[in-house]
Amino acid sequence: MNDRLSLSPDAARQLATTTKTTPQMRGITPRYVLRALPWVDVESGVYRVNRRRTFILGDDRISCYNEGGSHRVVPEDLRELPFLREAGDGLLAELAGAFTEVPFEAGQVIADEGAACDKLWVIVVGRAEKRMTGRYGEDALLEVVGDGQFFCLDSWARCQPLPFRVKALTPGLALTVERATLDALADRDENLRAALDAHIAGDGPVPGSEAPVDLAAGHVGEIDLPGTYVEYEDTPREYHMSLAQTVLRVHTRVSDLYNAPMDQTRVQADLTIQALRERQESLILNHPEFGLFNNVAPGQRVQPRTGAPTPDDLDELLSRVWKQPGYFLAHPKAIAAFGRECTRRGVPPVVDTRFGSPLLTWRGVPLLPSDKVRFTGSGGAGLTEILLMRVGEAEQGVIGLRPAGVPDEVEPGLSMRNMGTDRKAITSYLLTAYFNAAVLVEDAVAVLQNVEVSKFHDYS
């Protein structure tokens, strides 16, 4: 028996319409990188960065690998040492085979200040700090070194006392090679001996420096002024358009019959474009050739003092990109870790509204979160990096590149081209996003590497 006095909601719903949302997509992020970069329209498809001539500089790292439980130096990476840049493969392999393992513990003094430097040290894994006695006897921190970095090349090559001491911050492992091994190889190879002698004499150019411009300043009277000209790079770097592409397929039955109240083709295209833009941001950060994290000069790489990102570490980044710094870029976990370190020190970061969102800032520079920043490890523990960049073409910073115009363009640099309907009544659309990013001058970016995000504090 039905005791209901009115129509049930379930029955009434059969006669009612629904209010619908457009399809939601969890993978959409704010994409702050794409919004923060100034975009330059490239007319020809290629963007050439002309610079003053700079003397060749490597990545300041010597890579190692594990073979049968033992660590070995990659021979080709020994060309990071200036006097080995032109050495033959056989000589490099022989020198690499002479490295021996030296484990160390946290707090251990690896090398002492003033001691004879008869070994070149390459850190395989771990972190150590270089300290020296200052002018007035104070203890001065010079640098924190980490995986792949080496010391002290000049003292080892010149057989001079070490100007600083190296103390381990974490347990780790290093590889060392004796100076006598280098001498033995140089005695057999005239080219190596000549390159080593030139390095010791200081005759070669300083790696990473620009060719000098001769000029006079501060003089009085009628002196003979020097003549000069500015050297350009012989082979300037050129950036070609990279792309993200896919083919969107929509059946004509869907687009003909189910096209109201929302255009199915338009909705499908919008979601696909979102995925293309997400991939675009990821490539701009991590592409092995033009990705921002892979285009940081050796002198612009910083290691954290304690592992967690501290205000001191971000200040060190600001000292590297001190000319009009624009944005920090970090994984959300790294920003949270930085916030904890600030809270512990009683210096909470100022929050500012940028791009319509509240963002943490440090020294007035916003910290942009991005899940595209590399994060190694599982769960909450892991290592990541924090990038600081200057942006803008006029500022000689970082810029985004895109074509000035492409056929069937639906967004800047993105086209949607109808490829026709096949015999299965499926219409295909080619979606292509063209883009690239350029670092105009080396000091436009700096990176804090090996950032630990799993450090918490007890405030009770």
Tokens describing residue 328: 């920090």
Query: Strand 39-42 to strand 46-49: parallel, antiparallel, or no bridges (unpaired)?
Result: unpaired
Q: Given this model, what pLDDT does residue 55 score?
A: 56
Which 3 state secondary structure label does DSSP give 285? helix
Q: What is the pLDDT of residue 178?
A: 92
Q: State mean pLDDT over 220-244.
A: 88
Q: Return the bridge partners of 401, or none.
A: 40, 436
First vs last Cα of the chain: how many Å apart? 65
Q: How far apart are CA 186 and CA 287, in angstroms?
A: 39
Q: Which residue would you say has higher pLDDT here, 210 or 299?
A: 299
When pLDDT is averaged across residues 384-393 and rounded to a whole number, the result is 97
H or E element that contains 195: helix 190-201
CATH class of segment(s) 64-201: mainly beta
- Of the given ranges (66-70, 190-194, 441-445), which has the lowest mean pLDDT? 66-70
> For residue 437, which of 290, 329, 336 has the smallest C-alpha distance?
290
Nearest to 242 by CA among 275, 283, 286: 283
Distance, CA of 396 to CA of 390 (rounded, Å):
8
pLDDT score at 207: 58
Give the Cα separation of 321 and 300 in Å (integer).
8
Q: In 287-392, where does DSSP find H-type helix?
A: 311-320, 332-345
> Minimal CA–CA distance to 435: which of 34, 29, 31, 30?
34
C-alpha 324: how far from chain center? 19
Q: Which segments of 370-444 are extended strands (E)? A: 375-376, 383-389, 398-403, 409-411, 414-421, 426-439
Q: Are strands 365-369 and 375-376 parallel, antiparallel or unpaired?
A: unpaired
**In degrees rounded to 5, what are phi and psi of residue 261?**
-85, 0
Span 98-128, pLDDT tens digits: 999 999 999 999 988 888 888 899 999 998 9
Whether the Cβ atoms of residue 108 and residue 138 lie closer than 8 Å to each other: no
Confidence of residue 208 (pLDDT cuts 50, 70, 90): low
Chain centroid, CA 114 distance in Å: 35
Q: For 251-269, what is each residue's pLDDT tens digit?
A: 999 999 998 889 999 999 9
Percentage with pLDDT > 90 across the chain: 60
d(CA 326, CA 329): 10
Q: What is the mean pLDDT of residues 324-350?
A: 95
What six digits make up the tokens of 391? Answer: 């942006």
Give me the residues paired with residue 64 across strands. Answer: 73
- Of 77, 126, 72, 80, the C-alpha closest to 101 is 72
Q: Among positive and negative, which fits the CA dihedral 259, 263, 269, 275? A: negative
Q: Packing angle between helix 179-188 and helix 190-201, nearest 10 degrees?
A: 130
Residue 326, phi then psi, degrees to nearest 5:
-105, -55
CATH 2.60.120.10 in the chain is located at: 64-201
Token output for 1 = 């028996």
Residues, the chain: 460
Query: What's the number of CA atoms in the CB half-sphere (13 Å) around residue 275?
Result: 13
